[in-house]
Amino acid sequence: MSVILLIIALVFFFICSVIPFNKYHGIIAFFFLVIATLSGVSIVANDTYHYGMKVKTTTTHYQLVSASDKMNVLLYQPLGNGSEKVYLYKTSSKQKIKPMKTKDSSAKYVITSDKPNVTVTEKRYVYKDGLSKFFFGILHNNNELKHCYYTFNINRDWNVLTAKQAKELDKLVKKNQAVLKSQVETTVKAKVAAAMQVNPQMSAEQQKELIQQAQNEATQAAMQKLIQSVKEK
């Protein structure tokens, strides 16, 4: 409506300015000039300062799935001097890695004991009321994004790596697969042997649980060494 009112006011201002249909044509022209000016100013104010609008905040929580099937990892791509980042994350194991641009938003990660998830908080400009929507609706700027905040809630066993580091790590794992397997087996045997000395009457089920736990711990420890070597490059 604001644009239509501006056009109508300008048309009548022009008509009243050039056609002296009565002695009050100058006053009428000035009236339409004021209407056109106010309409133009309100359009600029709405477009620049979001006049007639308010900020609406919505928060959504999504499941966070590791970007790698080999380890729990949150990936990012540094931009420029590294102050800006593009995070790469998934909300489903069947989903392809989805880039999240952070140059127009803010992102951070925190450690949680709950299940990994990502919290997305959006702030958008919406019309204050029906009158504002009626007047500025033609500008199609309702729900315009003001800012977006991402919080990645990850567990302590997750690693935060750049996409480049993740690729280098994958190469290292493949290259040292035999060595890693041997190290894990040696560590597991030593832990099981030590545990059996402490508790010789350990049941088969307890031994199975012990082996599984030892394998997980040994694998994680071996991976952490590779991750550290990648980060130090």
**Can you give the pLDDT at residue 125?**
94
pTM: 0.72
- Quick one: pLDDT at residue 53? 92
Is 100 a residue whose pLDDT tops 70? no
DSSP calls for the chain: -HHHHHHHHHHHHHHHHH---STTHHHHHHHHHHHHHHHHHHHHHHHHH-TTEEEEEEEEEEE-B-S-SSS-EEEEEEETTTTEEEEEEBSSTTSPPEEEE-TTSEEEEEE-SS--EEEEEEEEEEESSHHHHHHHGGG--TTEEEEEEEEEEE-TT-EEEEHHHHHHHHHHHHHTHHHHHHHHHHHHHHHHHHHHHH-TT--HHHHHHHHHHHHHHHHHHHHHHHHHHHHT-
Does the structure show a pLDDT above 80 at 47? Answer: yes
